[in-house]
Amino acid sequence: MWRRWIWNGKQWLFDWGVRQQRRWAGLKPRRRRLEQGELSWLERAAPAGAPVLVLLHGFGAEKDHWAMLARRLPKSFRLIAPDLPGHGDSMSNLDISYRVEAQADRLRAFLEVWGVEHVHLIGNSMGGAIAANFAARYPRHVASLTLLNAAGAGVSASEMAELWQRSGENPMLDMSSADGVRAMLDWAMYRPPPVPGFAIEVAAARKAERVEVERKIFDDLLDSVDQRPLLASIQAPTLIVWGREDRILHVEDADCFAASIVGSEKQVLEQVGHLPMMEQPRQVADLWLDFARRRAM
């Protein structure tokens, strides 16, 4: 019984920390039951007619990964950060496709749920591949596109890709233990922040419940991630941001995106890894605001 109380206390503290991050960012949780299952997202409201910014997370991540960036963006923007299907509190069915184009098609349907037609898109990692696919196939809905360490180019093997090719080990699918979560933090961030042990334990336990669906998502993603054939058709003003120390997706992939998307701009951030919106949220916010005001407002 004592162990259960202690464990419940750890989960409560973990969730309290998440709620605090949301509160500081002005984000409120929202849910909607759809035909295929539930859609969950965070939203910060803005006056009618305000520009809308949609934030797409990466593989194995969730909507709350955007809270630190959201805190640093002006309240004149309406912010929407969904749990992409298969992640967080959104639908996680094993019998649906998680291919990049399927997720982009769902995003088009989600715009109707949110009551918006024209959005600024920011995508990180897998979310970047989905955002690029969406921008290429649904151009009239995209005011601007920002790719943060985006999947979809794959021109240079990263440190993680080389490990996987050499040994078959995939740290992204090995997070159901505390050691696995700590290892993934080291992979994802140049300087991971100190994380309390109880938070690592809770994160690992929740990952352990998602092993099957995350393997399904990864397989579908791997089979559909290459977006190079579509990049030249992207018309939206595009900003490419990359952490130079990314060990998951090689920084040289930024050059492929920049060369393929006409008129795009590229920024490489020093001493930043795979998650610039969490590692340097102020710098990313400033870069995006400058870009959006010059190119897309």
The DSSP 8-state label assigned to residue 10 in this structure reads: H
In order of 80, 107, 116, 235, the CA distances from 142 in angstroms are: 14, 12, 11, 9
Contact indicator for 265, 285 with CB cutoff of 8 Å: no
Dist. CA 103–CA 46, nearest whole Å: 26
**Which residue do the tokens 């601007």 mark?**
144
116, HSE (Cβ side, Cα atoms, 13 Å): 26
Is 265 annotated as catalytic? no
Is 125 annotated as catalytic? yes
Is 264 annotated as catalytic? no
Catalytic residue among 159, 209, 212, 252: 252
Is 279 annotated as catalytic? no
Amino acid at 106: R
Catalytic residue among 125, 158, 176, 260: 125
Give Cβ neighbours of residue 71 (< 8 Å, ≥ 6 apart). 24, 25, 26, 281
Catalytic residue among 57, 65, 120, 250: 57
Question: Please, which residues bridge with residue 78 across strands?
Answer: 52
Catalytic residue among 65, 120, 250, 274: 274
Catalytic residues: 57, 125, 252, 274
